[in-house]
Chains A and B, each alone.
Chain A
């Protein structure tokens, strides 16, 4: 009997666990470890943040799901991984302070990100002055602060809103872009838009970069940059913007930034929603002699090393290759340990990195959430299934972000009759300039804005909640 331990219950972890159990059956054990027993549908937290979706609609309890599928669930935090002792195991700490050693034959690290608010002084809802929609509690707090600002506007007071990224290396610009548009849409709906000044701030080299190096799409007989589309949405909604910027510090009611050109600026705000940079979940890696081997297992930001070329990060952008990116997501030293979703360390950014004159790095980190997470989690599960069933010595399946495509739906207002969303399909996720002149296959790369995009986003919310609950025919819903 093989035992597979999955750390994390997000898109990557849950997809992997459900697929592993489906294929391996009762002869083998699948154990999921997470400090949270709820699955959170993060893409809809933008709606929670402006009060247009009830928080409970984005959550469900995983325990009955795992019980039904025969998956063992441990509600605790993985604190330590012992990868090369005779009995490889994970040390789990429970909420009552007790610890347990859980042995494994195969391990999937799908722990997601640590929200690194500490990278920018004053950033974040817990010890800072900005809000966030990265977790449900943060999205609820954001909603409460947003509604307070709305009440002030109803009394005729002008309010300043700043939305974007809170650090030069943050990711998830797409989520912030969704939030600023939903905020603007909701202010209109509430009849207080005239009392709002809305400003976007981001570390993207240009609007519409979204951390994937931008996109070129066919439109009305032309090839058009996504930058123009992104700018046109801000123009239409009367939103100002600051791009190529690193937020240096956030204070009560204002933030300071520097951009790639070295221009320093300050934005005043009454409400700010800023996405933090991500880091790896802090887990200790200890070898058989008790030595800390984290530096061998992880990059400095704490994400786990997989089969990527990490030496390529030192090369100039023009020398980066598609072969730098991982295909199988197994650790190069311990082939039975995999990382999926945000937990794996990308070799470098996708977008071109820039530095401010003072040396501050300003570049979006590669997004690897949502669909990419699901695909990677599924791929890793299929490899482990082959290793267990067929006796393969190492991973057999591959899914490189330079090969597979992704669908992104960016909500721009939640209403079944007046809402809209930008639908973007791209193939591949990481531009492949060795293969395609514009980096992507233009027959599969597509972008459009409209109400139908909102219907798709709304449909996918319920479709993926169904899939993640492992309900009837879940396996036929794509990742």
Chain B
């Protein structure tokens, strides 16, 4: 038995509660997420992003 509190967006229903805040990846987005040349660029980008957070966070080991 399943009830109305189970949300199912596998089919888009216009004007439904779920459709009010709808977002789904396009075919291009799904493709680019595993397109290796682009992901190699992203890998470098991610590491720089993480490094930035780490440098900021680790600067907070401070004397009070």
Contacts and interface: CB of A to CB of B under 8 A. Distances in A.
Contact of B50 (A235, A398, A407): A407
A432 interface: no
Contact of B10 (A235, A266, A405, A452): A235
Contact of B36 (A234, A243, A266, A451): A451
A425 B57 CA distance: 11
A450 B42 contact: yes
A368 interface: no
Most buried by A among B8, B54, B57: B57
A450 B39 CA distance: 7
A358 interface: no
Contacts of B30: 236
B49 A266 contact: no
A263 B4 CA distance: 8
B63 A396 contact: yes
A469 interface: no
Contacts of B63: 386, 396-397
Nearest to A425: B53
Contact of B58 (A420, A444, A478): A478
Interface string B38-57: 01101101110110111011
B33 A450 contact: yes
A448 interface: yes
Contacts of B34: 417-420, 450-451
B64 to A, nearest CB: 5
A479 B61 CA distance: 12
Contact of B39 (A264, A404, A427, A452): A452
A407 to B, nearest CB: 5
B20 to A, nearest CB: 11
B10 A240 contact: yes
Contacts of B21: 225, 227-228, 231
Given A228-B21, A265-B2, A478 B54 contact: yes
Interface string B10-50: 10000000000101110000101111100110110111011
Interface string A297-328: 00000000000000000000000000000011
Contacts, number: 130
A240 B10 CA distance: 8
B8 A268 contact: no
Given A231-B23, A236-B30, A263-B3, A427 B42 contact: no
A47 B40 CA distance: 23
Contacts of B32: 450
A241 B40 contact: no
B6 A240 contact: yes
A382 interface: yes
A361 interface: no
A259 B5 contact: yes
B32 to A, nearest CB: 8
B23 A427 contact: no
Contacts of A261: 5
B5 A235 contact: no
A241 B23 contact: no
Most buried by B among A231, A327, A403, A417: A231
Contacts of B62: 397-398
Contacts of B47: 456
Task: Identify the 8 closest CB pairs spanning chains A and B, nearest first.
Answer: A452-B42, A452-B43, A228-B23, A450-B33, A452-B39, A451-B39, A265-B3, A404-B57
Interface of B: 1-10, 21, 23-25, 30, 32-36, 39-40, 42-43, 45-47, 49-50, 52-54, 56-58, 60-64
27 contacts: A231-B23, A234-B9, A235-B24, A236-B25, A240-B8, A240-B10, A241-B7, A242-B7, A245-B5, A264-B3, A265-B3, A267-B2, A267-B6, A375-B57, A395-B64, A397-B64, A404-B57, A405-B56, A420-B34, A423-B46, A423-B49, A423-B50, A425-B49, A425-B50, A450-B33, A453-B46, A456-B50
Given A235-B23, A448-B42, A450-B39, 14 more contacts: A199-B6, A228-B21, A240-B8, A242-B6, A263-B5, A266-B1, A266-B2, A396-B64, A397-B64, A398-B64, A423-B46, A450-B42, A451-B35, A455-B43
